[in-house]
């Protein structure tokens, strides 16, 4: 989970805290205790567009394509390699997935059930993570919207 250091780095009282900080360590330990191993095979869509999100997935190894459906065709817009978080924004806002996520090779990682993730986000340290989750999702959505706009002009 070292690849996700920045995911757990927060600003607290005008000070940047990482998982090594003693005040954040119990939160990270609790998070690690909630992780469940996951493996998805090439072509196995594990999060479909407009589907309810039941867990947050932290990819550790593999390649993942993010895309969307338009007029019953699949369009691929973004590729993640070895590090990606899937479903955190949707869980945080109790929304369905806006995109689909498909491995291009075997993908391994860990997931946290939605209920447990929401409990973590309600913790004072979890609340500090929310703006970063929002910002990361907006970046992805901007890429996807630009791709949709380009495809619709064709």
Task: Measure the CA dihedral 5/89/97/154, to 10°.
Answer: -80
pLDDT at position 103 over 80:
yes
pLDDT at position 71 over 60:
yes
- The mean pLDDT value for 29-43 works out to 92
pLDDT of residue 107: 95
Mean pLDDT of the chain: 85
- The mean pLDDT value for 93-104 works out to 94
pLDDT of residue 6: 66
Cα(34)–Cα(115) distance, rounded to whole angstroms? 11
pLDDT at position 132 over 90:
no
Using CB atoms within 10 A of its CB, is residue 123 exposed (0-12), middle (13-18) or buried (19+)?
middle
Tokens of 23: 């005040």
List Cβ neighbours of 149 (8 Å cut-off, separation of 6 or more).
none
pTM: 0.84
DSSP assignment string, 92-142: HHT-B-SSEEEESS-EEEEEEEHHHHHHHHTSHHHHHHHHHHHHHHHHHHH
pLDDT of residue 5: 61
Domains belonging to the chain, first-starting first, are 2-153 (2.60.120.10)
Choose among 50, 51, 55, 24: nearest CA to 38.
55
């Amino acid at each position: 989970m070292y690849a996700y250091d920045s995911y757990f780095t927060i600003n607290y009282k005008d000070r940047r805290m990482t998982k090594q900080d003693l005040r954040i360590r119990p939160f990270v330990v609790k998070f690690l205790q909630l992780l469940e191993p996951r493996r998805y095979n090439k072509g196995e869509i594990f999060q479909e567009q407009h589907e309810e999100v039941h867990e947050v997935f932290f990819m550790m190894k593999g390649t993942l394509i993010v895309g969307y459906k338009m007029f019953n065709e699949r369009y691929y817009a973004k590729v993640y390699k070895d590090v990606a978080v899937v479903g955190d924004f949707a869980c945080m806002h109790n929304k369905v997935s806006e995109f689909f996520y498909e491995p291009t090779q075997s993908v391994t990682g860990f997931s946290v059930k939605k209920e447990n993730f929401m409990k973590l986000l309600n913790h004072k340290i979890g609340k500090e993570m929310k703006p970063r989750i929002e910002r990361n999702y907006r970046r992805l959505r901007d890429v996807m919207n630009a791709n949709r706009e380009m495809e619709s002009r064709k």
